[in-house]
Structure 1
Amino acid sequence: MKLVTLAAREKYEELAETVGFDFHTMHGEKYWIDGEAYEFSLAQVEEDIEGPATELHEMAMEAVGEIVRDSALMDRMAIPAEHHDLIRKSWSEAEPHLYGRFDLSYDGKSPAKMLEYNADTPTSLFEAGVFQWGWLEDQIAAGQLAQGADQFNGIYEALSSRWPQIMKPGETLIHFAGDPDNKEDQATLRVLAETAEEAGFEAILTPLAEIGTDADGRFLDHEDRVIGTLFKLYPWEDLLLDDFASLIRGSRTRFVEPAWKAVLSNKGLMAVMWRMFEGHPNLLPCLFEDEIGKDTAFVRRTMLALRFSGMARKPVLSREGAGVTLTAPGGRIVEASGAEGYGHHPHILQALAPLPDFAGRRPVIGAWITGDRCTGLGIRDDRSAITGDLSRFVPHYLV
């Protein structure tokens, strides 16, 4: 694994804008990086990322089963008590899921470490699943990359294949809802809608804020059409606090992602996974903060590991690196990000897994899960030790 410099494509910004990627530059800084790339060997991807990420997903699903049976655990994860039954029902009925993205720390040598699981509303899907594949083809055609260069990227095709597995017999229509003013969200929604259409379904984009209800409690779109299946690019932790959350159960709308994703996308999941799979090479020691001081062998072992490695303190609910504090062994603060409204939530303490340093850039590997297997990767990097909403997206290739 290494970071390499290539010639950027001529007028790539214009190309990006023609395909709807008009957020390639944000706040005067390049978000998409066209003249650099991360190089991997096939073995690194297959053995260190693809296989482990698929296994991590299986372990995470096992942890969900444990959590939904334990109301105290769901309380600890800040899941509203009045919606525990909704989540349990969603899980017990095996409501189907679509996709997610693990964030991993990986240096090309040591086992990848799970930092978190963005399993409900992960974005950067357009960049990872579509635009970086076009970049690869163009760079091969330009002679910047060898003819045999490849990319771990079956995301788009896997999504198209997944929709028929999610939909019920006879269903033909899927609504896709999000914030029409958020360019990145809209790019993600367009990719998902296109993959659904390729699978033979009709896709309707509808503004999230314009969804209403009829007299029978059915959800309606912006043109008053009944919503049977809804993909919502809106996190469950927010949805469950909204005024209309009480209407979900009686609406007869099927949600993608399902309600149990409120558990899978919660950072408390990592503390539960460490307790269940302590010592797994792809997991980091992790505790709920309120476990400190409990005199058990498990807590003592984990606290010893945290003190030795340093730790990351994270709210169980947060986005884009908000509310994270990194401390070195001994307690010195290495870096901290603003809480941005997440600081009141319970926290976890996770062993510090410093991101590798490639010429001052620190990459996070995004391992994309479609259904139940890893189908591709995307990379965000930054000079900061905490990856945030403006961190760069850098393409990759395999040799």
Structure 2
Amino acid sequence: MKRIPYGPVRDGWRLTNFSLGLTYNDDVLPDGSMYSYWQEGPYYDFSAAEIEELETATATLYAMCLEAGDWMVEQCPRRTAEGRRRGFFDSVCPPDVCFLTRIGVPEYTHEQIIRTWFDGDADTWTHRDKDPDGRVPMQTPDFSPSVYGRFDFWYNGAGTTPKLLEFNAQTPTALVEAAVIQWHWMDQTGVSKHPWRQWNSIHDRLVGWEATPDGEPAELGAWRRNIAKLREARPWLPEKPKIFFAYETSDTSGEDRMNVAYLMSTAEEAGFPVELIAMSQIGWDVSDDRVVYVPGPGREHEAQPIDVIFMLYPWEWFWHEEGGKAFFRNMADPAKRGTVWIEPPYKAALLGHKALLPVLWKLFGDDPERGKYLLPAYFADSKGAKTLTSYAKKPVWGREGGSVTLVRDGVPITENPSEYGSDGLYVVQQLCELPSFEGLEGTVHPVIGAWLIDGEPAGMGIREDLGTAGLVTKNNCNFLPHAIETEY
């Protein structure tokens, strides 16, 4: 792993990147200076063996996360038929019993979180039509599609082991630049002659590919594969159901819109009708008890039912908002006419928070083969936390480095105050300072973003930040492309 400081600079690269979807490249920093998110010229160079190491770590950690999700579900009383029956009349998930309650997940969401986690598994509670006592209707197997996610790794090349920093399981961005922009950069610069050139099959794994003359078989891709499974569970859906894609318009940078628009374009390329909408256009039809798309105020008569929707919006916000209970109740429709959400709620409640880190350490910290990808992690108010003198303190429900504090030998070295963490829920993770490389403006610190598509390792994007403050990667970092075994 090397940082090449003086790589090729393409003529008109800003316009090229803009035309490919990177419309949110330029910004003005608080000090008035201009900032370019994409860095043209420098790039990171990896050996094939290093890429294989990162790919192995990604696959292994995802399997570990699935086991951690099972452990979290086991702590919830609503996982059992008796718990659901009792929970219909009373609370059964106090924080000293239920892990989900402990980390702030509202109890009314637990049943659907667990259901979507186990959808389609014949050995789970969704399999039977009724409870043994015959009183509580049960869901028959369904399917809740999951399309993508991103691990953030510490990694410093050959001789080191990737370490998990966090899992962006539900709403990761930086997809456009990882899947599209850096791939075109590779094509246009030709810096690598290695057969792999770049670890990047993100687009192909979303869309699929045809059989090749050299014998590589055709691949359906994540969208076709997931929708096919969904139609097996819900045969009334058309062969190609319309997929809505929703984003939050309060993000004025355009980043959310373009990440969602890119995912939408891959679903369209895979053969599905699509529509891009704002989160504010998701409504509720009281008469039909349905989630609907409402084009605008006064146009309720034009509302369309939503069968399948991808939303780039945190579930941990959604379930605290007015109307959240209705949306979760809709998921429970025994006739399977409820809206299918991508990503499903379990991606936030079981995997997409920092509390995953102490659970992984509890389950795998002593495993020499799998635990090597982890850093010791504990809830901040636990006994284990007191064993760490150098650590990163992270809010359970944090984003973009907000409210993360790094402590070295008991002394804070960087802080990033934000609105996150106001609930007092924090974890601590053993400090593992990001690697240092020399850039034109000083020392930079890269973090590896390893992408999963439909649960499979699919590629990498690299963000880096500057100086001591750059040890926490924030939303004003830089994105750099990568290549494999270049000779530049």
State the TM-score, normalizing by the size of structure 2: 0.76
Give the partner amino acid of 1:204. E
**1:206–1:222: 8 Å Cα contact kept in structure 2?**
no
**2:186–2:192: 8 Å Cα contact kept in structure 1?**
no
Distance 1:303 1:362, change over 3 A: same
Shift of 1:43: 0.5
2:373 paired with 1:326: no
Task: Report what 1:253 is aligned to.
Answer: 339
2:247 paired with 1:178: yes
Task: Report what 2:365 is aligned to.
Answer: 278
Shift of 1:181: 5.3
2:102 paired with 1:76: yes
**2:21–2:176: 8 Å Cα contact kept in structure 1?**
no
**2:378–2:427: 8 Å Cα contact kept in structure 1?**
yes
- Rounded Cα–Cα distance in structure 1 between residues aligned with 2:354 and 2:156: 23
2:226 paired with 1:166: yes
Shift of 1:82: 2.1
**1:133–1:153: 8 Å Cα contact kept in structure 2?**
yes
- Rounded Cα–Cα distance in structure 2 between residues aligned with 1:146 and 1:380: 20
Shift of 1:171: 4.2
Shift of 1:257: 0.4
Task: Report what 2:64 is aligned to.
Answer: 59
- Rounded Cα–Cα distance in structure 2 between residues aligned with 1:117 and 1:62: 14
2:152 paired with 1:103: yes
Deviations 1:102-139 (A, max 9, x none): 00000003101000000000001000001110000011
Give the partner amino acid of 1:392. N
SS of residue matched to 1:258: coil
2:44 paired with 1:38: yes
2:476 corresponds to which of 370, 390, 393? 390
Task: Report what 1:317 is aligned to.
Answer: 397
SS of residue matched to 1:129: helix
State the TM-score, normalizing by the size of structure 1: 0.93
- Rounded Cα–Cα distance in structure 1 between residues aligned with 2:449 and 2:268: 25
Q: Larger radius of gyration, structure 1 or 2? A: 2
Q: For structure 2, which runs of at least 5 residues remain unmatched after alignment?
A: 29-33, 77-97, 121-143, 208-220, 232-238, 296-302, 331-337
1:243 corresponds to which of 319, 322, 327? 322
Give the partner amino acid of 1:192. L
2:349 paired with 1:289: no
**1:69–1:88: 8 Å Cα contact kept in structure 2?**
no
2:282 paired with 1:211: yes
Distance 1:130 1:267, change over 3 A: same
Shift of 1:146: 4.2
- Rounded Cα–Cα distance in structure 2 between residues aligned with 1:398 and 1:20: 24
**1:78–1:345: 8 Å Cα contact kept in structure 2?**
no
Give the partner amino acid of 2:226. I
Shift of 1:192: 0.7
Runs in 1 of length 4+ with deviation above 6 angstroms?
A: none
**2:397–2:420: 8 Å Cα contact kept in structure 1?**
no
2:422 paired with 1:343: yes
Distance 1:272 1:231, change over 3 A: same
CA-based RMSD of the aligned residues comes to 1.5
SS of residue matched to 1:43: helix
Shift of 1:92: 2.1
2:417 paired with 1:371: no
Give the partner amino acid of 1:324. V
SS of residue matched to 1:281: helix
- Rounded Cα–Cα distance in structure 2 between residues aligned with 1:226 and 1:81: 27
